[in-house]
Structure 1
Amino acid sequence: MDEVISSYLTALDELNVLTSTSYQMAGGDYSARVNQIVDDVLSFLINAYALGIRNAGIMLDHELSVNVDKMQDAIFMVIEGKTFADRVADHVGGNDLGGLKNLVESEYHRVYNAAVYDGGRDYIDNGGFGVNKNWITVRDDKVRETHSYLEGQSVPLGELFFTWDGDYAMYPGGFTKAENNCGCRCVVKLEVEV
């Protein structure tokens, strides 16, 4: 499991550098700049999904492959009426590199955890045993109280995690309240029911 979390955290750390580079290198007029950054972000999100499926396979000791339709659903999810491209354009238009970094990190996180969840669903749908998911924080002083509350909780794959403040999610990054998603670094660990 350490390999799984380590690969995720390493990728998450690299995002800030990649986002800054994309932001600084994108040239041309506003539209061309936004399109270039959106393309770069799309490649980050595709990698997040692929890493999530890979790590789900490791956790379940089962070979899994990326379902392109599920990947597109995760990546192109509309949040508060906006696609990720709309949200990228908002930050580029506002010359807000910090906001863009937060957006990319939050989207990467959400897509990664969606992929882990999708991998668990795929495992069950193809004859695997039941799967539980465990909430894992990075266990440092930056973990918010609502997530510390969830540390180590285990629920069946199809059930929600509930915070003490009434928010809920299928996986980290999927809460109904933005303040529980933005900047989250938690992951789910999948385990086959025995």
Structure 2
Amino acid sequence: MPKSKTSLNQILYDLRRIAKHREILTDKKINAIYDTLKKDLRSFLGESYEKYADGDGRLYMSYLDAQRKRAWFLNEIVKNVDNIEPLLQKEVSDLINTVYEKCYSGMADAVNKADTRVKLEKISKDISVQPDVLKQAVNNNISKLTLPLVMQKHRADIIYQIQQELSIGLMNGDRYETMAKRISERVSVSENKAKSIVRTETHRNVESGFLDCGEYIQDKLGDSDLIYAVTWRTMKDERVRPQIRRKTKKGWKSGYNKSGANHVQMEGQTVKAGEMFDLGGGVTAAAPSKSGVAAHDCNCRCYLEYNLMTAEEFAKVTGKKVANDGNGGIIETGGKVTSSNFTQIEKFEQQAKRFYESCTRNDNDVKAISKNTNFDYNDILSIKNHIMIEKHLFSNGNVRKFDPDIDQALAWQRLMEGRSRDSDILFLNHELTELKYMKENNCDYETAHRFSTKKYDWQSVIDGIADKDDINPKWLK
């Protein structure tokens, strides 16, 4: 991949090399797992042909039916596949955890070692990632949370495909050599798909680890005028989408993919860490391989470049004017007015954001709410993490935190101060039900929200906007 000349990106380049090496090692382990599967299937087929094939060496479905062995025969195939699935999931899971953790912690180390250190020292004495922060980030990594679903689909696909090939072979009366070749080819297809999962997840978790730590660093910058900016970079070759290279009988030929994904146009686009890139066609992504759209994500090789900029430098690069809102946040003013000329809604958005930031500094709010209500401390902590800290999968494939919400902030404040309303208790029940449903069913936010709303319809009873101006200033510090 192209090297950047800056010290920060040199370190990140080295981390990407480490991740690539880990991917290669995982590929080798997957090769060994599938070699074992092929060997076991050949052995099983050999024994079955020896018992049930006719004198000509052919095995038909009717032969198995006569012995009442068809169901047994197909189920044994499923057992062989099931034997490798835990091994596959462990290898991919270990890969995800290792790559994400190294890239997350490595990003903080890179910032500390980069030539931007002088700027950073004026803002934060310690930009390093604490173990508890890193552990929470790893546990909330969306790839880790959705991996069981990915591997479950992979298992179902290989079982279906092998059973289809077996059925065709048995109807044709294939001999052992033909059947073994047929099954081996189908297993090889599954193996390639497993390796594609490895490539995609490696890339996704490299970018996720960097980006999530980038957002953490952006929060650390507090009320400074510095912005941690991310720039989309491509490999700048003939394989960047929509361009494609395909092998034909006459050699390699270039062409264009009609999937709609165009990453050539993304080169050089810059946003603040955590904000979304516009990929076109209504598709957005916080980083390469994180749009939730296969045409954009699968086998994508794009990456993000990270730079610490002043507001003025950011404006020159992006064309977006930015200004400090006077309350510790950087806001875009291209389509908005700043500080003293805020609309009412914009004012509430900023209050909610600052309130969330204040609450996430410690667990005093959790202790107070638990004391003032009948809710367990751990339940309140889970709710807080759910609405303020964790990232969630949305139905459009995007993965991000919830936007700070003024109604939730006001409810949280009242609960902290011991003056809760019935609607505030309804809010807690709604969020607790929602988060539990998401974890139990590995589903997107909207699905869980609809389920929770049926039992605790908080949205329909919250107060109007006129009551949204009473956040106590002491909670905005």
Post-superposition Cα deviations, 1:92-149, rounded to whole Å, max 9, x if no partner, equal 5452111111111111111221111110122123346431111111222211132121
Q: How large is the RMSD of aligned CA atoms in angstroms?
A: 2.7
2:210 is aligned to 116
Alpha carbons 1:132, 1:157 under 8 Å: kept: yes
User: Are residue 24 (structure 1) and residue 118 (structure 2) matched?
Assistant: no
Check conservation: 1:45, 1:111, Cα contact below 8 A: yes
Find the counterpart in structure 1 of residue 138 from structure 2: 71
Counterpart in 2 of 1:43?
94
User: For residues 126-177 of structure 1, what are the alpha-carbon distances to aligned partners after superposition, in whole Å with 9 as ceiling and x for unaligned?
Assistant: 3464311111112222111321211111111132111233321011111132
Are residue 131 (structure 1) and residue 217 (structure 2) matched?
no
Shift in Å at residue 12 of structure 1? Answer: 2.7
**Matches of 2:140 and 2:30 in 1, distance apart?**
24
**CA shift in 2, pair 1:47/1:31, >3 Å:** same
Give the AA of the match of 1:141.
E
TM-superposition CA deviations, 1:25-82 (whole Å, max 9, x none): 3658332311011111111111210232144224433533562232233232438xx6
Alignment of 1:91-170 (within 5 A): 93=159, 94=161, 95=187, 96-127=190-221, 129-145=226-242, 146-170=262-286
Could you tell me whether the CA contact under 8 Å between 1:8 and 1:51 is conserved in 2? Answer: no
Aligned residue for 2:232, secondary structure, equals strand
Contact 1:76 1:84 in 2 (8 A): no
Distance change >3 Å, CA 38–CA 88, structure 1 → 2:
farther
- Quick check: 1:133–1:188 contact (8 Å CA) kept in 2? yes
Paired residue type of 1:107: E
Q: Distance in 2 between matches of 1:38 and 1:69?
A: 21
Cα 1:64–1:187 change in 2 (3 A) is farther
Cα distance change on mapping 1:187 and 1:99 into 2, 3 Å: same
- Does the Cα contact within 8 Å between 1:53 and 1:116 map onto a contact in 2? yes
Relative contact order (C-alpha < 8 Å, sep 6+): which is higher?
1
- Give me the whole-angstrom Cα distance separating, in 1, the residues matched to 2:285 and 2:28: 30
Moved more, 184-193 or 47-56: 47-56
**5+ residue gaps, structure 1:** none
CA, structure 1 residues 22+176, in 2 after alignment: closer, same or farther (shift >3 Å)?
closer
Q: Which amino acid aligns with 1:85?
A: M
Three-state SS of the structure 2 residue aligned to 1:78 is helix
* 2:238 maps to 1:171: no
Q: Which amino acid in the other structure matches residue 140 of structure 2? A: D
- Return the offset for 1:91: 5.9
Structure 2: 5+ residue stretches without partners: 1-8, 38-79, 113-126, 162-186, 243-261, 311-477
Taking the aligned partners of 1:20 and 1:140, their CA distance within structure 2 comes to 27
Partner in structure 2 of residue 191 of structure 1: 307
Matched pairs, number: 192
Among all aligned residue pairs of Structure 1 and Structure 2, give the percentage whose two residues are the same amino acid.
18
SS in 1 for 2:239: coil
Normalization by structure 1: what TM-score? 0.83
Does the Cα contact within 8 Å between 1:91 and 1:99 map onto a contact in 2? no
The answer to whether the Cα contact below 8 Å between 1:124 and 1:131 also exists between their aligned partners in 2 is yes
Runs ≥4 in structure 1, deviation > 6 angstroms?
none
> What is the DSSP-based 3-state SS (H/G/I as helix, E as strand, rest coil) of the residue aligned with 2:230?
strand
Change in Cα spacing, 1:14 to 1:115, as seen in structure 2 (3 Å) is closer
